[in-house]
Amino acid sequence: MASHRKWSPTGTRIAGIRTPALATAALTSVALLSQTANAAPSADSKPSIEEVEKKVDDLYHQAETATEKYNATREKTAQQRKRVDSLLDDVAQRTEKLNTAREELGSFAAAQYRTGAAAPDTASLLLADNPQDYFDQTQLMNRLTTRQKAAVDDYVTEQAATTKKRAEASESLQTLTTAQSALKTSKADVQRKLAEARSLLSKLTSEEKARLAAIEKKKREAADRKAAELAQQQAAAEKKAQEAAAQQQTGSGTSGTTGSTGTSGSSATDSSYTAKADKALAFARTQIGKPYVWGATGPGSYDCSGLTQAAWKAAGVTLPRTTYDQVKAGTTVSLADIKPGDLVFFYDDISHVGLYIGNGMMIHAPKPGAYVREESIFYGGESIIHSVVRPA
């Protein structure tokens, strides 16, 4: 902070005017103060279109990551809810059996009373932790028949099992409550990221939106060129393989026969996978144009893993719900060996997935506000491709 102490010039004065050196210094100070005063936020502090684009992409990525966490939590919550319902049903059935058994034990005590034993304390029986102890204490156990004693043993066993089930149900209810809280948190996280992205985009002028669209177009063109390069590389590799196979077939002796058998087995495997992949791709193509909705699994809308799960389900193959689990559901292959039907995963956190259709292209549910579409697997650059998995 500037000092408020009065300034005393050391130079000389001529008719009330400071010497030129001091005047120059004063003017410089005024200029600096003026610059400081004018250093308030201006148009220069506004983020560039490139920065806005990066920020929006990052937010959509974060939202998709949060979506996959939401999907995993929702699946866990659904499973836990089923377990709780099952345990509560079991407890209810066991409790009903216990009540019936208590009535039966009460009738045993009453029967023994009629034969000359001491009058039964029905209230004590119904409240006893262990009916067998009750019968022992009232000296009725020795008077029970074998069937009656077996009923007492069964009751004690059932009572212990019911107590255990009640404890399990209580624990599961607590787990369910925790999962529901986590689900609420995940949902709020997704909504917060999407709201921030929408807010950034809404502040753009028409000119800025046009510039942003131009940047996106350039990125798509670069991605398409990269996809074409991959297609050419795969075509060249396939041609080379066919030539090698043809040369092998012209050979003679055991080597040729063995090679033929190996090729036949490989062809059978490829044919089986291709048939399933074709069904998955046919389904995915019919979903093009449907909106991306986070957490959706169809049929009207999808998120990325919801689409791939539904597509392979149409081919008779069950995939897990989330990208984190889908990446483990198959065989990992290299990008050079990618085939139609393979799953392509993106980002280090494996938060996005698409269904490869060939020629460097895929069908995927891109992000909020977009629709299921065909797009280059290099839409975000080759560096974001995490892995390729063959699910069947």
CA dist., res. 103 & res. 127, Å (int)? 12
- Among all chains, which residue has been given the structure tokens 């709780």? 84
CA dist., res. 175 & res. 116, Å (int)? 53
69 neighbors 187 (Cβ within 8 angstroms)? no
Single out the residue of 307, 289, 308, 282 nearest to residue 370, CA to CA.
289
Residue 16 Ramachandran class (φ > 0 left, ψ -120 to 50 alpha, else beta): left
- As given in the structure block, the two tokens for residue 324 are 């984190």
- Which residues, 6+ apart, have CB-to-CB distance to 31 below 8 Å? none
Q: What is the CA radius of gyration of the chain?
A: 38
Greatest pairwise CA separation for the chain in angstroms: 137
CA dist., res. 272 & res. 262, Å (int)? 16
DSSP for 101-112, written as a single string: HHHHHHHHHHHH
CA dist., res. 181 & res. 178, Å (int)? 5
- Which residues, 6+ apart, have CB-to-CB distance to 156 below 8 Å? 130, 131, 132
Query: What number of other Cβ atoms are within 10 A of residue 91's Cβ?
Result: 20
Instruction: For residue 251, count CB atoms less than 10 angstroms from its CB and return exposed for 0-12, middle for 13-18, buried for 19 or more.
Output: exposed
- As given in the structure block, the two tokens for residue 357 are 């259709």
Residues with a catalytic annotation lie at 304, 352, 364
Residue 350 Ramachandran class (φ > 0 left, ψ -120 to 50 alpha, else beta): left
Q: What is the 3-state secondary structure (H, E, C) of 275-301?
A: HHHHHHHHHHHHCCCCEECCCCECCCC
Judging by DSSP bridges, how do beta strands 385-390 and 343-346 pair with one another? Answer: antiparallel
